[in-house]
A = this chain, B = another copy of it.
Amino acid sequence: MMIQILNDDFKTLQQQVTKRQQQTANKPEIEAAVADILAAVRERGDAAVKEYEAKFDQVELDDLKVPQATIDAAYEACEPKLLDALKLAKRNITSYHEKEITHGFIDAEQPGVIRGQKVLPLAAVGLYVPGGTAAYPSTILMSAIPAKLAGVDQVVMVTPPQPKGINPAVLTAAKLAGVDAIYQVGGAQAIAALAYGTEQIPQVDKIMGPGNIFVATAKKQVFGQVDIDMIAGPSEIGIIADAGAEPDQVAADLLSQAEHDRLARPMLVTDSQALATKVAAAIEKRLQTLPREEIARASVDDQGFIAVVANLDQAFTLMNQIAPEHLEIQLPEPMTYLNQIRNAGSVFLGREASEPLGDYVAGPNHILPTAGSARFFSPLGVEAFVKRTQFVQYTKDALSNEKDAITTLARVEGLEGHARAIESRFED
């Protein structure tokens, strides 16, 4: 792994890391094909959905919904060890995200004036779960549990039909997480069904989850009709460590993200040249026995770096500029550095807080802002599944007190009709 000795100027490294992928316009053929699918499902509902499933997935289904008996059977047949792990994850995800629940307020502090805000759940949410090996049970828990805590009445899942049926671990996680219905539909036709509603599939207010280029294009095209989630980029891990960190553990944590994707970015920033050298060696050693060695090696070689800086302040400055998705603080008394962290999705404090802890069971979400967007985006949470509504009520006296201010501002802005609406309350 490349070791860089940095002086005060982090600009080159920071620019290299945060350089965004050029926004490549989608191929017009894909945009057009997706637009056709959306229009067909919008007009003809399930008939169109079934045609596309026959065409793209070679499956003919009358009932799109997975029967409850199938879900229950998968749950009953689940290996106890896996079920226990999912239950532990559910318990911790629930107890963490419960603390994110917010409430509205009412303000009756001014005479004759009531102002307030209601926090309301979205009525329905759709989760897209890809087929095959990209269907992660843990991600179903991470999406559906906060949605249910927010009070979403209908959490529905769509996933492409599989030759041997939907992955039982996915069905088990969905049942545990409280998913209300699962439909065997994939691709752009699934996104269309969720956006517009069909005879069998309910219209939702927000569509979550990753998918292929057709799914991503369809989500983009229905945005506005429904809300969609942010698009996650390749995984990133940043580790700040000093000479006291355990090189082998640091290496293992860097590789845990490198194995996700050739474009994943493992980053170590340290004030210790000795640690840098040892971690580089430990990475090489661990790579040799890693099942996903090829992917992880590409990530380490092409995307990763070890930066040696003069002191820990510089390490935090650099990491805040990079704004990593995951940030490990492998330092003594790690909590004392919390105030130096400005930009990071999820922070892991201390030797035992290995990043995969957060991927599975700790409770904080694992759906996180990538590509430097932790500067302005947040981890997925309850907030993503609610919306706020304002309200206000005035007595005539209260309105009278503010009447001149309103009409003055309306007329300065050239909106006479606004002024007259207020004045209509004081006519005759």
Q: Give the interface of A toward B (CB within 8 A).
A: 20, 23, 81-82, 84-86, 88-89, 95-96, 99-100, 102, 105, 107, 109, 113-115, 117-118, 120, 122-123, 133, 136-138, 169, 205-206, 221, 224-227, 246, 248-249, 252-253, 255-256, 258-260, 286, 290-292, 296, 334-335, 338, 341-365, 369, 371, 373-379, 381, 383, 387-396, 398-399, 402, 404-406, 408-410, 412-422, 424-425, 427
Query: Which residues from chain B contact A392 at a C-beta distance below 8 Å?
Result: 346-349, 353, 357-358, 362-364
Contact check: which of B120, B356, B362, B373 meets A115 at CB < 8 Å? Answer: B362
A227, closest chain B residue (CB): B376
Q: Which of A361, A388, A396, A417 counts the most B-chain CB atoms under 10 A from its CB?
A: A417
Distance to closest chain B CB from A349 (angstroms): 4
A169 to B, closest residue via Cβ: B412
- Of the A-B pairs whose beta carbons lie under 8 Å apart in the complex, a sample of 15, sorted by A's number, is A89-B405, A205-B375, A252-B417, A252-B420, A252-B424, A256-B418, A258-B417, A348-B393, A352-B393, A353-B394, A354-B421, A360-B409, A364-B392, A369-B387, A379-B388
Q: How far is the CA of A361 from the CA of B392 in the complex (A)?
A: 11
User: Smallest distance from the beta carbon of A72 to chain B beta carbons, Å?
Assistant: 20
How many chain copies does the complex carry? 2
Chain B hits for A343, CB < 8 A: 389
Tell me, rounded to whole Å, the shortest Cβ–Cβ distance linking A388 to chain B: 4
Q: Which residues of B contact A358 (CB under 8 A)?
A: 390, 392
Cα separation A89 to B96 with both chains bound (whole Å):
38
Given contacts A387-B376, A405-B89, contact A286 B394 (CB under 8 A): no
Q: Are A361 and B393 in contact (CB under 8 A)?
A: no
Contact A85 B422 (CB under 8 A): no
Query: How far is A122 from B248 in the complex, measured between Cα atoms in Å?
Result: 36
| Chain B residues with CB below 8 A from A390, complex form | 345-347, 358, 364-365, 379
The answer to whether A138 touches B88 (Cβ under 8 A) is: no
A253 to B417, CA, bound (A): 8
Q: Which B residues are in CB contact (< 8 Å) with A82?
A: 408-409, 412
Considering the complex, give the chain B residue whose CB is closest to the CB of A417: B259
Q: Which residues of B contact A341 (CB under 8 A)?
A: 118, 389, 391
